[in-house]
Amino acid sequence: MKLLNILTEHITLADPTLLTEAESWVKLVPHENKKIPSQKRLVGRGEFSTNVTENNLSDKFIEKIMNTINNDEKLAQWLKSGQLIMTLASIKSSASNCFGKSGGSEKCNMPVEPTLANDVGGKLPPPPEGGWTGDQAKNLKLAENRGKNLWKELVNGLPQQGLRIKAKPKFTPSITDTGGVNDDMRDTTKYPNAGQYVFVDVRLEKKPKPESQEQVNSREQSRNCLTNMKVVVAYYKDKQCIPATAAKKAEGCHTCNHARFNIFLNGVNIGVANLNNANNETQKDQTGSGRGESRVSTLIVDEEKAQRIANSKTALYETKTPLIPGQVTLSLKGILSSSGWVHNDVPWVTLTTGQGRVIYNQAVKNQAGYTGGKSGKNPEEKLVGPFNPCKKITT
């Protein structure tokens, strides 16, 4: 068994076979960058005529590629989830150093100057008696077409098996020394490696499955409704406070200064809602007049944030909960006051689209899914969602 110098490193080849009995093999090779576990390198070789579909050779090659992928745990998993994609491809194809035959004879009458020795470390042969009479340029073109024809079949066949292809292949044609004859006439004791082959070296990666046009359209519609959306976070005394009695302090009345919140849409911070009774923008506790009155904070979603919200694939800032494209979730995270507390009463939320349509206007406690924060803690709390930002929200 010898080595064929096709890649920058040496790859051991199986015993050569005649073109009419052409075989192909595929071998997994570790990717050069071991720090990227989401990538693998796949190397395959096949002996082909220029018409790579002859005798179903290209189909057999595709079958072996898919068998290799399905027999590898990671690749099989990525393929099943629709995340497997081919991102790089190097196609090295060769022709034997013969061009043309004479009078029906199988012996080549126009030997071509080779560009590759038959084995590693071998020397290129000197010109035969009578010189190199074959057309090297045409033979290189024949080799190039062999590679391009196979690539065309891979591009047509592999996606049908679930393997996405984004690679732009690099084609490198060559002429392998086979003794100045076609593969089926070469002396295999002197020229063990066939000259009419294609060597495929590709990189496979795990990448997110692309969105459908419907999902893309949903994100765009969402972005349009989110742009200039008005988000009002408030505490309304007349709606949320039960009047006090002599015997019992007013239940539900908001009188504290622990009520500053970061407001998020799909994990994108759109600003701080300050509902402190002193209306002070600092975290320091404040005292003053007007305690227990209504507090209102209005935030506007600008175009840049609307795009980020619409493009987000997660609903929450902290937990990265997966999200359906086009859907939006509103959440808040309390900012601890200087005494280490955060308000836990239910806020009133009003959402108005950029087109002026009110899609939500109620106390969040009426919204299914709200869990409510706890004094002394500041977890991110989902207030509303997931919802379509273009339609009225129902509980």
CA distance 13 to 21: 16
Question: What b/e sequence results for 317-352 when a residue is b if at least 16 CB atoms lie within 10 Å of its CB, and e otherwise?
Answer: beeebebebbbbbbbbbbbebeeebbbbbbbbbbbb
87 has pLDDT over 70: yes
- pLDDT given at position 274: 87
pLDDT score for 140: 96
What's the confidence (pLDDT) of residue 210?
77
How confident is the model at residue 393, as a pLDDT? Answer: 86
The backbone torsions φ and ψ at residue 336, rounded to the nearest 5 degrees and listed phi first, read -60, 135
Does residue 287 carry a pLDDT above 50? no
pLDDT in tens, 197-229: 999 999 999 988 777 778 778 889 999 999 999
Q: How much of the chain, in percent, has pLDDT values that exceed 90?
A: 42
pLDDT in tens, 311-329: 888 877 667 777 788 899 9
Question: Cα–Cα distances in Å, from 178 out to 23, 57, 138, 188, 245?
Answer: 18, 22, 17, 9, 104
Top mean pLDDT of 3-7, 240-244, 259-263 is at 259-263
Tell me the domain boundaries of the chain.
3-206, 214-387
Residue 26: per-residue pLDDT: 59
Quickly list DSSP for 322-353: B--TT-EEEEEEE---TTS----SPPEEEEE-
